[in-house]
Amino acid sequence: MVPPSWPFLSPLFIFLLPRPAWLYTLHNCTFNMDDPHTIFCDHRQLSRIPSEIPSSVEHLSVSFNNIQKIQQSDFRDFNRLQTLDLIQNQISHIEDAAFSHLSTLTLLDLFQNKLTHLTDNMFKGLFNVTVLYLGYNHIESISEFAFGPLRNLQDLDLSSNFLSQISVIVKVISSCPSLQSLKLGDNRFTSFESEHFSFPLNILKLDLSGQSLRSFMLHSDLFPRLESLHLVRIHSDFQWDVSDKSFLKNLKTLDLSFTNLTIETYKSVFNSVNSLENLRLYGVRLFDKGLADFVCGIPSLQKLDLGGADISVLDPFLLQSCTHLTDLDLYDNSMTDVSESSLRTLTRLLQLNMGLNHLTRVPLTIRNMSSLTSLLFHSNLIKKLHCLDFANLWNLTELNLANNYLVELNGCIFKDLHSLQRLYVDNNFLFQFDDSFGTSLSNLLSLSANNNNIAWLQNGVFKNMSHLNYLKLSSVRGTIMERGAWNGLTNLTYLGYSLSIGSSKPGASFKSDSSTGGRSQHIQSFNLPSLKELQISVPSEVCLIYPDDFLQGLDGLTSFSAYSLFCKSPDIETFHSTPLLKFIEMANNLDLNLYPELFQPIRNLQSLELPDNHLKSLDFLSQANLTELQRLDLSNNDLRVINESFFEALPSLRYLDLSNNPFVCNCSNAGFIHWVLYNKQVFVGYAFRLRCASPQSYEGHLLLDFDVQSCWEFTSFLCFMSSSALVLITLLSSFIHHFLRWQLVYGFYLVRAYLYHSKKRRQGCAHTYDAFVSYNVHDEDWVCNELVPELEERQGWKLCLHHRDFQPGRAILENITDAIYSSRKTLCVISRQYLQSEWCSREIQMASFRLLDEQKDVLILLFLEELSSNQLSPFYRMRKLLRSRTYLSWSRARSHRGLFWEKVRCAMQCGAELANNPLPAQV
């Protein structure tokens, strides 16, 4: 167990730590990894807007919760918010001006709540909102000025409410001059009449769907720009009254799905829409030849949706007159057969959807429809394809045969599909591709054969498919590739496939290993230089055996996903050939052990996902050199203790997922808990859902609820003792410095003098000089002109003068010490300049130390001028001597010079101990 790297902090210090303004760990919300300014708080059973949301959020979703009320304080600080989703809550009341601070908001979604009334100030401040969704509420009334602030509103959804007065809608539209899309379906309006409006509308899209609408009357050019009209689920008593065809001259799309109108009403509608291009009749079960003629009579019609129309057999004459159609949707009709001539007249048809029917073969009518570019036969009962099924479909670019019962794809099927670019054969029973498969599909760009039984891919099967860039071959049974199966895929950028556990043929890339009971497979390296994404999945019972150069030839690979691929630790050479990798996912491996060397070659890695691998340690992170890693997923592993120092080696990390790990709730995770709560760089997803697995007393508890204060009790005591000692030392130091600093300096030099004098006594050195003269350079004239002539020339004393007798090159302090102890006396010539000199002060201090040490009269104080006691305060020993003994004063003896020098001579001669021979009296 790795102990956490945790500083010695007292609980008081912990409580005083500031809570960061931008928390990367949220209780009830999560960040979008690609955009940290997008936050999701969905499905959390919240009763109010979370206060933890950072003010810098730009996109916020608080959908699918139990919020009942929106207050003014909920969004006060969100001055950068652009979109706000409050879908499917219980909101019944919104305080006035609750959104007033959201000046940057452009989208507000209140879909499926319980609002009943929209007040005048509900949307105050939302002058930049362009999209407002209020569908599926209980709105019965709208105040006259409720939509006044929404001057820039373009898209409004009021569908599925309880509105019954069209006059309310008139007020809404008049307040929103920029409105382009209006959804009013499933309200309680029984009619929509142009007489209700006194001005033309700029609306482009209008939805009036719903069973309550009984009439649509247009007697003026109310919708000069209307392009799309939706009248879904209208009943047979509906009345359509458009007095002039020009009123809907710009209508391009009309949706009449799930309507049950009379034939006359349908005809009336179709006669009013001469510019219609897209008609949806999904779920209209009364579509017959008579109605079809009216539909096909619309000269501009291009797209027709007849899905869910309960057509079991396509009549050969039903769509005979729809010769101008380009897009026909016959999806979900339970058709069992299509006549051979039913679509032959649709010579302009580009897209045909016959998915989700009961067809057992490709209808003959498809042959020779050379105009088709997209053909969908997914979700039928087709078991076999014939060589002529797609004959002459030269322009077909998309073919969807997914979710059928196909067992083989012969190359002859695609011989005429020279333009085919996208082929979908997912969820069939295909076993293998024919040898001529690749030859027939030389221009194919995308092949999806997911969830088949393709267990074998022979050498050269894709050799002529040089344009293919997307290939998915994941199989229910897994796929075995012969050596050279990938040859020819020179432009492939995405490859996804699964490995099988079946036996292999000679030359195959996977071989059974008898040492593992037939459960292991060998895989050869790739040679796909253009590949960017590789996804491999392996049945959990397979043990993959691969060489060190497993990914050799994939120099351009940027994304690698592997599921159950490694039954042992990946070789450290695995990624040496893929230096450009940015995304790695290794999931669902039995016992994955990772080493730092594995990641050394991939310095650009940005996302590492390692879920479901039974990882027990993160030691590999510290030396992996993943300096660019931004996302790390370690969910569903066996991590018990996390050392937060591991993440210091990931300076670019922004998102971390550690959900569903069996954490230990004790002091070993204290540092990690603190890091989760207070780090300002990494967002820890689902942090407040992390739970403890041990010890038993904490099992099931939230990890972040663990009381880490108990981990610092002993540390707190040490911190208290250290802090107390530090305070005492500081106080004592301050006291000593203020009151005893000179005594301490005195003591220091006393000890130094004692040690020096002891050394001299041991050496038995005799005095060299009679006196050492200590003076300041400013007093040198007096010393040279008065003192030296008198004492040396007249009285015969030998003096030591620093400018004359100090040894050059030697330390000044050593010269001073030697001069004092080599002289019988020390004569201090004291003046104001003397007291201000650092070296003079040291000389007199050392002389006074010698005085005390030897208890002899070795110090002579000669004052050139009068000095106050304050000026002598730094010289503790001198001041003490002056209070108890006499001294020589030149300023007082100028008129009696002879007597002064006599006193000096006496002082120089004096050699008795201080106790019996006090200093000469003051002159």
Tell me: pLDDT of 541 over 50: yes
What is the C-alpha to C-alpha distance for residues 461 and 409, in angstroms, rounded to an integer? 12
Please give the sequence-ordered ranges of beta strands (E in DSSP) within 161-315, or none if there are none.
181-183, 191-193, 205-207, 215-218, 228-230, 239-242, 253-255, 278-280, 303-305, 313-314
Contact 665, 698 (CB under 8 A): yes
Give the pair of three-digit tokens for residue 259.
Answer: 């309507």
Tell me: pLDDT of 610 over 80: yes
Helix (H) or strand (E) holding 536: strand 533-537
Q: Kindly indicate the confidence band of residue 3, based on its pLDDT and cuts at 50, 70 and 90.
A: very low
Contact 613, 620 (CB under 8 A): no
Note every long-range contact of 621-627, with CB atoms under 8 Å and residues 24 or more positions apart, other chains counting: 621/596, 621/646, 621/647, 621/649, 621/650, 622/596, 622/646, 622/649, 623/596, 623/649, 624/596, 624/598, 624/599, 624/600, 624/649, 625/596, 625/599, 625/600, 625/649, 626/599, 626/650, 627/603, 627/651, 627/652
SS3 513: coil
More confident: 795 or 132 = 132
Give the pair of three-digit tokens for residue 463.
Answer: 């050799």
Q: Which residues, other chains included, contact 898 with Cβ-Cβ below 8 Å and sequence gap of 6+?
A: none
More confident: 1 or 62 = 62
Task: Give the position of tokens 């967002």.
Answer: 683
Lowest mean pLDDT among 190-199, 664-673, 846-855, 913-922: 913-922
What is the C-alpha to C-alpha distance for residues 368 and 370, in angstroms, rounded to an integer? 5
Q: Which of 63, 56, 69 is nearest to 20 (CA)?
A: 56
SS3 619: helix
Q: Which of 59, 48, 145, 148 is nearest to 91 (CA)?
A: 48
Give the per-residue pLDDT at 258.
Answer: 94
What is the C-alpha to C-alpha distance for residues 918 and 910, in angstroms, rounded to an integer? 9
Phi, psi of 633 (to 5 degrees): -110, 115
Give the per-residue pLDDT at 14.
Answer: 34
Tell me: pLDDT of 30 over 60: yes
Domain ranges of the chain: 454-605, 741-909
SS3 897: helix
Tell me: pLDDT of 524 over 60: no
Give the pair of three-digit tokens for residue 566.
Answer: 């490694």
Proportion of the chain above pLDDT 90, given as a percent: 46
SS3 194: helix
What is the C-alpha to C-alpha distance for residues 153 and 175, in angstroms, rounded to an integer? 9
Please give the sequence-ordered ranges of beta strands (E in DSSP) within 753-909, or none if there are none.
769-774, 799-800, 823-830, 859-863, 888-889
Give the per-residue pLDDT at 776.
Answer: 85
Query: How far is residue 122 from each of residues 30, 72, 141, 157, 171, measured CA to CA in Å?
Result: 28, 10, 13, 16, 16
SS3 101: coil
Helix (H) or strand (E) holding 664: strand 663-664
Q: What DSSP assignment string belongs to 288-339? A: -HHHHHHHHT-TT--EEE-TTS--SEE-TTTTTT-TT-SEEE--S----EE-
Q: Which of 110, 210, 208 is nearest to 166 (CA)?
A: 208
Mean pLDDT of 912-919: 36
Q: Which of 518, 638, 533, 636 is nearest to 588 (CA)?
A: 636
Tell me the pLDDT tens digit for each residue of 35-82. 878 999 999 899 999 988 888 899 999 999 999 999 999 998 899 999
Mean pLDDT of 742-748: 63
Tell me the pLDDT tens digit for each residue of 428-461. 999 888 878 878 888 999 999 988 888 778 888 8
Q: Which residues, other chains included, contact 739 with Cβ-Cβ below 8 Å and sequence gap of 6+?
A: none
Going by DSSP bridges, is the β-strand pair 30-32/35-40 parallel, antiparallel, or unpaired? Answer: antiparallel
Tell me what the pLDDT averaged over the chain comes to: 84
Lowest mean pLDDT among 146-150, 546-550, 700-704, 805-809: 546-550
Q: Which of 496, 574, 500 is nearest to 538 (CA)?
A: 500
Give the per-residue pLDDT at 741.
Answer: 65
Tell me the pLDDT tens digit for each residue of 653-706. 988 999 999 999 988 898 898 888 888 888 888 888 899 999 988 899 989 888
Q: Which residues, other chains included, contact 725 with Cβ-Cβ below 8 Å and sequence gap of 6+?
A: none
Q: Which of 584, 589, 597 is nearest to 557 (CA)?
A: 584
Exposed e or buried b per residue across 702-732, where buried means at least 16 C-beta atoms within 10 angstroms of its C-beta:
ebbebebeebbeeebeebeeeeeeeeeeeee
Amino acid type, 709:
Q
Indicate the CATH number of 741-909 among 3.40.50.10140, 3.30.499.10, 3.40.50.2000, 3.40.50.720. 3.40.50.10140
Q: Which residues, other chains included, contact 506 with Cβ-Cβ below 8 Å and sequence gap of 6+?
A: none
Contact 187, 209 (CB under 8 A): no
What is the C-alpha to C-alpha distance for residues 600 and 625, in angstroms, rounded to an integer? 6
Tell me: pLDDT of 132 over 50: yes
User: Which pTM does this prediction carry?
Assistant: 0.72
Contact 164, 189 (CB under 8 A): yes
Phi, psi of 150 (to 5 degrees): -90, 60
Q: Which of 597, 596, 641 is nearest to 622 (CA)?
A: 596
SS3 263: helix
Helix (H) or strand (E) holding 537: strand 533-537
Tell me the pLDDT tens digit for each residue of 314-359. 888 889 889 999 999 999 998 998 988 899 899 999 999 999 999 9
SS3 632: strand
Tell me the pLDDT tens digit for each residue of 397-418. 999 999 999 999 888 999 999 9
Tell me: pLDDT of 308 over 80: yes
Q: Which residues, other chains included, contact 671 with Cβ-Cβ below 8 Å and sequence gap of 6+?
A: 4, 5, 6, 643, 644
Mean pLDDT of 103-128: 96
What is the C-alpha to C-alpha distance for residues 161 and 840, in angstroms, rounded to an integer? 101
Tell me: pLDDT of 502 over 50: no
Give the per-residue pLDDT at 888.
Answer: 81
Q: Which of 128-137, 492-501, 569-578, 788-797 has the highest mean pLDDT?
A: 128-137
Give the pair of three-digit tokens for residue 701.
Answer: 């508890």
Give the pair of three-digit tokens for residue 300.
Answer: 């501009």
Indicate the CATH number of 454-605 among 2.60.40.1120, 3.40.1440.10, 3.80.10.10, 3.30.500.10. 3.80.10.10
